[in-house]
Chain A
Amino acid sequence: MGRMLDTSAIGGCKPDSAICTRGVTRDFTAGQQTITVLHGIDLDIRAGEMTFLVGESGSGKTTLISIMCGILWPTLGEVKVFGTDIYDLDDTALVEFRLNNIGFIFQQYNLIPSIDAASNAAVPLIAQGMDRHEARERAVEMMAKLNIRDQADKLPSQLSGGQQQRVAIARALVHEPRLVVCDEPTAALDAASGRRVMDLLREVAVAEDRACIIVTHDNRVFDLADRILMLEDGKIIHDGSEMPEDH
């Protein structure tokens, strides 16, 4: 069932929304020109759902997700993640906030090639200051949940793409973040592997108090979404549990 874009809520966030953006605008300056990539995005994302952010290349979805997870500053507007106005924080506090609250899954996995899979998965814990061996044990537990317990001692280069993606997922979840952001998780995988990864993600990432945003244009996995947001030219043109017919 489609819901209407709620524009009346500008200036106030719903108390139950995990992420709330109000009037988020982002300009990029390229030489003399200024290109506006996002035009006042107002959005509420709820916890416990798997939210897909879809759109053509250049539609602004990467910019939007970057702003929502606190790695790109909006030109205008505010972003609240679990009640915290993240762009009100100073630089260090924002980094700390990301470390403690957000799990990232990158399209290229960006695993560190010279440390084994479990250590890779343990990176956020280590960054939080946890003892390396304890962090690794926790990471191994997480990998067990993702059925790659036996790959723990291998280097990333010894793993297949799907396995690497699982390690990346383990890394995103190991510190139990309240927001998980995935960038094209299936882009580098074949259909079957992509499907399996998405199933797994749905299984482990979605939780009562956790929001999960997935940026993708892989239409093979749209059916797994709880909510699909469609971006075009910096505006949200669709918000519903299914893809619109014309896509």
Chain B
Amino acid sequence: MIWIAIRMLTGDAQKFYGLVFGIAFSTLLITQQLTIFVNLIERGASGVYNVSSADVWVMDPVSRTTDVAYAMPSTALDKVRGVPGVEWAVPHLRAQASVRTKDGDLEGVAVIGVDDATLIGLPKAMVEGSPDVLSQPDSVIIDDVGTTRMFPDQSPIGERLELNDQRAVVRGIADAIPSFTSTVVLYTKYSRALNFVPGTRNRLSFVLVGAEDPAQAKALSERIERETGLKAQTRDEFARDGVQFIIENTGIPLNFGITVALGFIVGVAIVGLTFSLFIRDNIKQFGALKAIGVTNRKIRRMVIAQAGLVGITGYGLGVLGTIAFIWSFSANPTFKGFYIPWQIPLISLAAVALILALTGWLALRNVLKTEPAAVFR
């Protein structure tokens, strides 16, 4: 009977492709928009994710994200080091600065000062050069998106910059996820960063902490808060804070929410209409089948099989479209690091299932309501 159901469905090519298109379009819209949305707001957490070795971030109690941070006195580092369960702790500086390029242009940059001795705080990978270049005088490492913004069509290696009247020489390119605003990021040693950033009293933005037992990072962050009076967030918490900050301070969630809802509504509309048209066209056949002796359960299964085929096909094509989109834009620096979180295809699958369940149920109700006796009229 399933075979018959599938034949009935594909027999009407127009409606079948209509259905597949509806589902594929919904899937594409929902998956693609959710993907962009998630990646965009996760840019708020890129500063956290770029530092791969810190289990816990310690900051002033008023600090909120990697970019909205209030500096602490330098003894905060020693306070944190004194907390049991802290395996290591290193200073981390993040500040905004203006850089004068060789052409004389002024560009806002983020200066990140990493621990002098261990270089903890640098991104995990480098595009060009090695982290060791920081031991040369006046070295900075630029991030790859910053490269495309500040040095389009040329290699930044060896370029001289002027930061707070200090000379800085670009000697490496880091492979980092750009921030929400795609600010150019310059990495340098902590002690040198102090010279690059105009002086304020306290300079230490964060203390990066490695836990004795990374699995107990949450407990450790609570202990640090208790013992030092500073704010400590585990890596995941702090990443979430960054995301939360974007959500609270931009209209992005609303915009994308509207688009996703539109995708859903368009899906329901196209699929619902086409599916009920299809069922209405075939209502006589269904009636005949019911009269001949096909139980409601089998009819239900037939409609489910039809919905399933439409669903799988449309969903597969929709996801393919999303992948093609992400893949084709992956070279664009704006989309650097964009990925499809595995939850999103599942969400769109659930949405597709919901669309089909809704429209299938409406269509099926007609079929099940049909009296078999109607075939004699």
Contacts and interface: CB of A to CB of B under 8 A. Distances in A.
A and B directly contacting (CB within 8 A): yes
B100 interface: no
Given A110-B285, A110-B375, A99 B10 contact: no
B240 interface: no
Most A C-beta atoms less than 10 A away, residue of B287, B292, B293, B297: B293
Contacts of B294: 95, 99, 127
A92 B296 CA distance: 8
Interface string B4-15: 100110111000
A62 interface: yes
Contacts of A183: 375-376
**Would you call the interface of chain B mostly helix, strand, loop, or mixed?**
helix
B295 A112 contact: no
Contact of B7 (A65, A69, A71, A115): A115
A71 B372 contact: yes
B292 A123 contact: yes
A17 interface: no
A29 B220 CA distance: 76
A62 B375 CA distance: 10
A187 B154 CA distance: 84
A228 interface: no
Contact of A71 (B11, B289, B291, B296): B291
Given A62-B376, A110-B285, A104 B292 contact: yes
Contacts of A71: 290-291, 371-373, 375-376
A112 B8 contact: yes
A106 interface: yes
Interface in B285-321: 285, 287-298
A95 B300 CA distance: 15
Interface string B247-288: 000000000000000000000000000000000000011011
B292 A99 contact: yes
B371 A112 contact: no
Nearest to A155: B11
Contacts of B106: none
The 5 closest A-B pairs by CB, nearest first: A114-B11, A99-B293, A110-B288, A98-B293, A71-B372
A112 B291 contact: no
B369 interface: no
A41 interface: no
A44 B261 CA distance: 62
Interface string A109-130: 0111111000100011011000
Nearest to B377: A62
Contacts of A110: 284-285, 287-288, 375
Interface residues of B, number: 28
Contacts, number: 89
Interface of A: 62, 65-66, 69, 71-72, 91-92, 95-100, 102, 104, 106-108, 110-115, 119, 123-124, 126-127, 132, 171, 183, 215
Contact of A72 (B10, B288, B297, B373): B373
Contacts of B288: 104, 106, 110
A196 to B, nearest CB: 23
B342 interface: no
Given A110-B285, A112-B8, A114-B7, A126 B375 contact: no
B68 interface: no
Interface of B: 1, 3-4, 7-8, 10-12, 284-285, 287-298, 371-373, 375-377
Most B C-beta atoms less than 10 A away, residue of A62, A66, A119: A66
Contact of A98 (B7, B284, B291, B297): B291
A72 B291 CA distance: 10
B372 A115 contact: no
A96 B4 contact: no
A97 B294 CA distance: 10
A66 B290 CA distance: 13
30 contacts: A62-B377, A66-B376, A69-B291, A71-B372, A71-B373, A92-B295, A95-B294, A95-B296, A97-B293, A98-B291, A98-B292, A98-B293, A102-B293, A106-B288, A106-B375, A107-B376, A108-B375, A110-B288, A110-B375, A111-B285, A112-B8, A114-B10, A115-B8, A119-B4, A124-B293, A126-B4, A127-B1, A127-B289, A127-B293, A127-B298
